[in-house]
Structure 1
Amino acid sequence: MTDLIITIVLCVAVAIAYAAAALIQARYAHLAVRELIRVPALWLALGLNGLGAALHVTSLGFGPLSLIQPLGVLTLVIAVPFAAMAAKRRVTRLELSGMTNTVIGLAGLALIITTTGPGETLTSGELIGLAAATAAVVGVLSLKGRRPGASTLWEAVAGGMAYSVCSALCQTVVVTVGDAGPATLLRPVTIVAVIAIAVFAVVATLVTQRSYRDGLAAPLAVTNLVNPATATAIGVALLGENLATTPVEMVIALVCAVLSGFGVTQLSRARDVVDTPSLAPREEVSTSV
């Protein structure tokens, strides 16, 4: 019982850290990269994201992933009210409906779509291929999201994929070093993996930041959906894992996916964050890229 309580407390703390970081990032999502570097609050957001990641890893030592994964939707539950409070208004009925549908759908997917297997690490060829393919896909999605009038959800998808691949590469490096010792850090493929982790971490942060420029909740929901979906795909395709899901469960999972998509659509319509330029200091407002 003690471990269960600790797991829940840690998951709530993770959700609060991620939600607070997302709210800060949404506030400055309209700024260019060179302007973001000069914003102290952004460094606070990065610190909160790092804290959230550290607490997430810690929670894995007290509870099963099957419990921790569904609790990840708490980030969205906390972020929407946070955004409303920052805008000094109440959560709208459409936001509440969209948040509820998205959370139920995401939690259902996390509970139903599970994998079993040895949980292997990436081989050198798989690691390089995954990094190259991810860079290409994330690049295309990011460019598509930067086009005038394009949906910010393209960048949210790119951010979710980059975060997930970053985690997969981290897992491979940590397991490899643990099995073969620190000397493996000097191997060329390990160096490539570490560089890729750093690049994907930065790219994920930047594209996710940009995805918040027209509203927080919908991009955050999409990122939370794409991240575990990509992780599952990597596990099945490259890490020797198998879907432990029956045909009936797959049908239920499809319903959950549709429900999540409907919730994201509602959140997109709600535009839960007030216009970013009105929140940011006047001298920091810029439309440059």
Structure 2
Amino acid sequence: MTDLIIAIVLCVAVAIAYAAAALIQARYAHLTVLELVRVPVLWLAIGLNGLGAALHVTSLNFGPLSLIQPLGVLTLVIAVPLAAVTAHRKATRLELTGMANTVIGLAGLALLVTTTGKPDTLTSAELTMLILATVAVVVVLGLLGRRPGASTLWEAIAGGLAFSVCSALCQTVVVRVGDTGAGALAWPSTIFAMISIATFAVVATVLTQRSYRNGLSAPLAVTNLVNPASATLIGVALLGEELATTNLEIAFAVVCAVLSGYGVAQLARARDAAAALPAPPAREPVGTSA
């Protein structure tokens, strides 16, 4: 019971760290990469993301993945109200409804779509294929998001995909070292994997940062949906995992996916509605005369 409590507390801490980082990133999402590196508080956001990742790994020592993964949606639960508070307004009914639908759908997917099998590693050919395919897809999605007037959700999808590939590559490196020792770190394919992990981590951070420029809620929800979904796909297709899901559970999972998509659409509409509101009038400085 103590381990379960520790796992839940760690998951809450992970969600707070990720939500706080997302709020900081959203505030500076309009800046270019060169401008961002000169913003000291952005490094705090990067540190919070790193802390969240470390706490997530730690939580797996105290609770099963079937518990940890669904609790990941707490990031959205915390971030949406906090975004409203920092904007000095109340969360709208559409935002709250969209958040609820997205969270219920994501939690359902995490509970229903599970995999089994001993952790495997990518072969050198699979690793190369995955990295090249990810680069191609992420570049295309990133370019779609840079078109004038394009939805920022393209970049959110690309960021979620890049994060999930980071996880798959990390698993390969960790399992290789665990199976064969530290000497595996000198293998060319392992070095290639580690360089790719660092590159994808930076790219994913930049893409998610940009996706927040018109609002936080919908892109954050999309990233939280794409990341585990693509990680599951990679696990089944390349890492020897098997879906431990019955036909009935698959049917319910489809319903959860539709509900999540509907929630994301609601969050996007709420963002667009907020953007359409007129800016509050500037306050006249005290002591000035008409």
> Is the Cα contact below 8 Å between 1:159 and 1:208 reproduced in 2?
yes
Q: Which 4+ runs in 1 deviate beyond 6 A?
A: 272-275
Matched, 1:84 2:88: no
Tell me which residue corresponds to 1:218. 218
Gaps of 5+ in 2: 280-290
Amino acid at match of 1:41: V
Counterpart for residue 286 of structure 1: none
Superimposed CA distance per residue, residues 178-220 of structure 1 (whole angstroms, 9 cap, x where no aligned partner):
2211121111111100100000000000000000011101000
In structure 2, the partner of 1:45 is 45
| 1:39-64 alpha-carbon deviations (Å, 9 max, x no partner) | 01110000000000000000000000
What's the counterpart of residue 102 of structure 1? Answer: 102
Show the counterpart of 1:282: none
Write the distance in 1 (CA, Å) between the matches of 2:272 and 2:215. Answer: 6
Q: Which residue of 1 aligns with 2:12?
A: 12
| Alignment partners' CA distance in 1, 2:230 and 2:149 | 27
Residue aligning to 2:128: 128
Partners of 1:239 and 1:111 in 2: CA distance: 20
- Matching residue of 1:68: 68
* 8 Å CA contact retained: 2:169, 2:197: yes
Distance 1:273 1:202, change over 3 A: farther
Q: Is the 8 A contact 2:166 2:197 kept in 1?
A: yes
- Contact preservation (8 Å) 1:106, 1:257: yes
- Segments of structure 1 that go 5 or more residues without pairing to the other structure are 279-289
- Kindly provide the amino acid, as one letter, of the partner of residue 271 in structure 1: R
The answer to whether the Cα contact below 8 Å between 1:7 and 1:59 also exists between their aligned partners in 2 is yes
Give yes or no for contact 2:120–2:175 (8 Å, CA) kept in 1: no
TM-fit CA distance, 1:274: 6.9
Aligned pairs, how many? 276
> Where does 1:1-289 land on structure 2 (aligned, <5 Å)?
1-271=1-271
Higher relative contact order (CA 8 A, sep 6+): 1
With normalisation by structure 1, the TM-score equals 0.94
Q: Once the two structures are aligned, what percentage of the paired residues are identical?
A: 77
Partner SS for 2:88: coil
Q: How many Å apart are 1:117 and its aligned residue?
A: 1.6
The aligned amino acid for 1:181 is: G
State the AA in 1 paired with 2:225.
L
- Give the superposition deviation at 1:119: 2.4
Report the TM-score, using the length of structure 2 for normalisation.
0.93
- For 2:52 and 2:239, the matched residues in 1 are separated by 25
2:5, 2:242 → 1: CA distance?
30
RMSD: 1.3
